Amino acid sequence: MSKGRRIHGEKELNELQRARETIKKLKRQISSLRSQLSRATSSERLADLQDLVARQIEEDKEQIKINKKYNKAKSRWECYTCGGGIMEIRLMNLPHGVYYSRKCSNLECDNKTAMKKYNPATVDGVVSEKDEE
């Protein structure tokens, strides 16, 4: 038995890493807002800060909507072979049009689909960050 240390699975590690990154990002935003607040001496600067805070709140709301949509798509497109990854859309620009295929995000899984013509109106899912050209 280990000394009070918990063994994490890969999914838990990814979620922990995302949570840590989010915390770091929020801490940076807080420090920048505090520094801007400390510089604010006139009512004009205070109004600018209120506008900045209002914009930040709107951006946060939009980000929450995007995250919900991503999580919903992620659960829908979970890989049935390994169960640990999601089937991401990989776009390919070919001379006769844009095509796509889906590939599991788990590096150890080789599950993928055949290439099909890409139509953004009808194709839904998680688009890979590393699109092939």
Judge whether 122 lies within some domain.
Answer: yes
33 and 69 in one domain? yes
Residue 41 domain flag: yes
Q: What is the pLDDT of residue 133?
A: 42
Domain boundary among 38, 56, 76: 76
C-alpha distances in Å from residue 13, one per residue of 6, 74, 83, 118: 11, 17, 16, 33
Same domain for 53 and 24? yes
Residue 30 domain boundaries = 10-76
Residues 71 and 42 in one domain: yes
Widest Cα–Cα separation across the chain: 62
Same domain, 104 and 123: yes
Q: Is residue 4 part of a domain?
A: no
The pTM of this model reads 0.46
Could you tell me if 133 and 92 are in contact, meaning their C-beta atoms sit under 8 angstroms apart?
yes
Model pLDDT, residue 82: 81
Beta bridge partners of 101: 90
Q: Are residues 15 and 51 in the same domain?
A: yes
CB atoms within 10 A of CB 52: 14
Q: Smallest Cα–Cα separation from 28: which of 66, 67, 56?
A: 56
Tally of structural domains, the chain = 2
Residues 63, 94, single domain; the answer is: no
Q: Looking at the structure, do residues 70 and 45 belong to the same domain, yes or no? A: yes
Q: Which pLDDT score, from 0 to 100, does residue 76 have?
A: 80
pLDDT along the chain (133 residues), means of 10: 58 73 88 77 73 88 82 79 81 89 84 86 75 46
